[in-house]
Amino acid sequence: GEDAVAILKESGLDQVQLVQLDVTNQDSINAAVATVKQRFGKLDILVNNAGILGGWDQKAVSVKTEVIREVFDTNFFGVINVTQAFLDLLRKSERPRINNITSGLGSLTLHTNPDWDHYDVKTGAYGPSKTALNAYSVVLAYELKDDNFKVNVIDPGYTATDFNDHQGGLSV
Ligand SMILES: NC(=O)c1ccc[n+]([C@@H]2O[C@H](COP(=O)([O-])OP(=O)(O)OC[C@H]3O[C@@H](n4cnc5c(N)ncnc54)[C@H](OP(=O)(O)O)[C@@H]3O)[C@@H](O)[C@H]2O)c1
User: Strand, helix or coil at 157?
Assistant: coil
Q: What is the pLDDT of residue 165?
A: 92
pLDDT digit string, tens, across residues 91-130? 999 999 999 999 999 999 999 999 999 999 999 999 999 9
Coil, strand or helix at 95: coil
Counting residues of the chain whose pLDDT is more than 70, the rounded percentage is 100
Q: Rounded CA gap, 7 and 139, in Å?
A: 36
- At 154, is the pLDDT very low, low, confident or very high (cuts 50, 70, 90)? very high
Domains located in the chain, CATH noted: 43-164 (3.40.50.720)
Active site residue 59: no
Least Cα distance to 21 among 46, 54, 44, 41 occurs for 46
The amino acid that residue 110 corresponds to is: L
pLDDT digits (tens, 9 = 90+) for 27-56: 999 999 999 999 999 999 999 999 999 999
Q: Report the alpha-carbon distance of residue 168 to residue 156 in Å, rounded.
A: 11
- Atom 33 in ligand 1: residue holding the nearest Cα: 22
pLDDT of the residue at 38:
98
In ligand 1, which atom is closest to the CA atom of 160?
A: 1
Closest ligand 1 atom number to CA of residue 24: 31
Which residues, listed in sequence order, are joined to residue 45 by a DSSP beta bridge?
A: 97
Distance 164 CA to ligand 1 centre (A): 10
Ligand 1 centroid to residue 75 C-alpha, Å: 9
Instruction: Give phi and psi for 151, each to the nearest 5.
Output: -115, 120
